[in-house]
Amino acid sequence: MTCKNAPQGDPADPADWRTAAACADLPHHSVFAKSPAKADAVLRACNQCPIRRECEAVVDPAHTWFDGVSGGRLWRNGKVVSTG
């Protein structure tokens, strides 16, 4: 199963930045997690993800009311959830 949150890239195109998603091999349910504990694996992947900025720009969680992990942060109803 792949990360449904990560913008989908063209694996045949090495220049496509979306193929670099660090969460690509994680279960998609962890990307759409609503609690910090359940989002932990994806949040850890985000720490080493080379497309972190692009992920948040494409998902635009603050304006789409996305629930889940994007750009290294956990979101709920367009707001960042504290994970500290």
Residue ranges in contact with ligand SF4 by CB under 6 A: 3, 5-6, 21-23, 42, 45-46, 49, 51-52, 55, 69-72
Min dist. Cβ of residue 12 to ligand SF4 (A): 19
- Residue 15: CB atoms within 10 A of its CB come to 7
Q: Tell me whether residue 5 or residue 29 sits nearer to ligand SF4 (CB atom).
A: 5
Q: Residue 24's closest CA among 14, 38, 11, 36? A: 11
Q: Tell me whether residue 44 or residue 82 sits nearer to ligand SF4 (CB atom).
A: 44
